[in-house]
Structure 1
Amino acid sequence: MARIHVIIPAYNEEKSIALVLRDIPKGFVEEVIVVNNNSSDNTAAVAAAAGATVLHEPAPGYGNACLKGIAYVAAKPPEAQPDIVVFLDGDYSDYPGEMVQLVAPIQQGQADLVIGSRALGNREPGAMLPQQIFGNWLATSLLRLFYGARFTDLGPFRAIRFSTLLALGMQDKTYGWTVEMQAKAARQNIPCTEVPVTYRKRIGFSKISGTVKGTIMAGYKIILTIFRYL
């Protein structure tokens, strides 16, 4: 059976993180790592009480939090490292129980990277704002045009073989994290696929799509990242 670790970047998610951790399939995952990304609330304490390994990354940025989690896992002895890493948001918008379907293509040797696609799955009305839907369409269209990659989403709920993740040499510290992974995977001809996932309204306020500035900055960074790795 594959060894699976979960990395959850979390910024001010004290109202949702316990629900996320509760719904992760029991016995399926070896370790859940919550990276407290400079939260000003009780995210870290709630996550620790729910049984997660809690790391602290004071530098703001989604990518910074993910890189912190990767560094922690990579520092383990080889025999303690996972076969698969799953990335999952801490806002309870995804359904952690769908992790079983998400990692299946990797376990079956069909892919090294699996994106949970909200575009292919069922979305609760209002779960994604119009600017998010348009941004995903634009980014995936550019990935198809310039990289030949047939993705439908930049969804944060994703699974990747750990050896492949290390080989990608991830660098982005902020909004370009997800698209960097997909662009590099396409450029390196890594086997990729998507599985439909269910998506609901998040608990709390989105730090990116919830503000005009966040939306513009995220869109700019995503497009810049796509062209950077051509």
Structure 2
Amino acid sequence: MAFPTDVVFPCLNEAEALPGVLAALPSGARAIVVDNGSTDGSAEIARRLGALVIQEPRRGYGSAVHAGLRAATAPVVAFCDADGSFDLTELDRLADPVHRGESDLMFGRRRVGGRGAWPIHARFANTVLLSMVRRRTGLSMHDLGPFRAGRREMLLDLGMEDRRSGYPLELLLRAWRKGLRIGETDVSYRPRTGRSKVTGTVRGTLIAVSDMHRTLRRLA
């Protein structure tokens, strides 16, 4: 890719996926793997493969993502799951509009390729949640996917508080409140490597929906 970008990978037991994920990272991008309590050697694998590894003992998606944001130094920071579900050759679709000054925050809209990539219960929950967001804010977003990129200083200035699954929605709403330019672009989404902790399970999806609904009531 044309511009230097830090890519934050929140990580909990992704030893199987990490070698392929890190190998696919475009040149000019630096991997920051935030280990969130892995017991399968994920941190050691990431370190051996050249990633900057950050330890975040407080469990939660938001905790890991925000620790990575604080550790980043590039002007633009991207975020991506460490499970192999995204095609990192598409990183420029998210990061380049931010680097060029066309957007402050870009979200990847998942386009499913492969059976089981995005279970129907998780897809339905995403649709319902964003319809509520549109009614309350006027934001026309289609996905709150985990592959996104933004201007580091602006993201740090948002005052993010959620450290669980409500983090992506809080990010969107605080950016909207601050008047940031928010964009969306299609990205490929494929079946993950290994066992899912959130959207692949009904229980994980319900927890995420609960966290996000609480965030929506608080900020929109």
For the aligned pair, the TM-score class normalised by the smaller chain equals: over 0.9
Residue equivalent to 2:113 = 123
Note the residue ranges of structure 2 that are not aligned, 5 or more in a row: none
CA deviation map 1:13-34 (0-9, x unaligned)? 00001111100102x21x2110
CA apart distance, 1:132:
1.1
CA deviation map 1:182-218 (0-9, x unaligned)? 1111222210111100010001111112333222111
| CA distance, structure 2, for counterparts of residue 190 and residue 17 of structure 1 | 32
The answer to whether the aligner puts 1:194 opposite 2:184 as a matched pair is yes
Identity %: 36
Q: Aligned letter for 2:113?
A: R
Note the residue ranges of structure 1 that are not aligned, 5 or more in a row: 74-80
CA apart distance, 1:107:
2.2
CA apart distance, 1:69:
1.3
| CA distance, structure 2, for counterparts of residue 189 and residue 200 of structure 1 | 32
CA apart distance, 1:179:
0.9
Q: How does 1:122-141 map to 2 (within 5 A)?
A: 122-141=112-131
CA apart distance, 1:2:
4.0
Q: How does 1:43-58 map to 2 (within 5 A)?
A: 43-58=42-57
Report the CA distance shift for 1:71/1:106 in structure 2 as closer, same or farther (over 3 A).
closer
| CA distance, structure 2, for counterparts of residue 5 and residue 212 of structure 1 | 32
Q: Find the partner of 1:174 among 147, 164, 187.
A: 164
Residue equivalent to 1:14 = 15
| CA distance, structure 1, for counterparts of residue 48 and residue 195 of structure 2 | 23
Residue equivalent to 1:220 = 210
Residue equivalent to 2:141 = 151
The answer to whether the aligner puts 1:211 opposite 2:201 as a matched pair is yes
Task: Tell whether the 8 Å contact from 1:147 to 1:187 is kept in structure 2 after alignment.
Answer: no
- How many residue pairs get aligned? The number is 219
Q: How does 1:70-109 map to 2 (within 5 A)?
A: 70-73=69-72, 81-109=73-101
Residue equivalent to 2:102 = 110
Task: Tell whether the 8 Å contact from 1:55 to 1:69 is kept in structure 2 after alignment.
Answer: yes
Higher alpha-carbon deviation: 182-191 or 9-18: 182-191
Provide TM-score, normalisation by structure 1. Answer: 0.91
| CA distance, structure 1, for counterparts of residue 163 and residue 183 of structure 2 | 24
Task: Tell whether the 8 Å contact from 2:69 to 2:152 is kept in structure 1 after alignment.
Answer: no
| CA distance, structure 1, for counterparts of residue 65 and residue 36 of structure 2 | 10
Q: Secondary structure at the match of 2:43?
A: helix
| CA distance, structure 2, for counterparts of residue 189 and residue 204 of structure 1 | 38
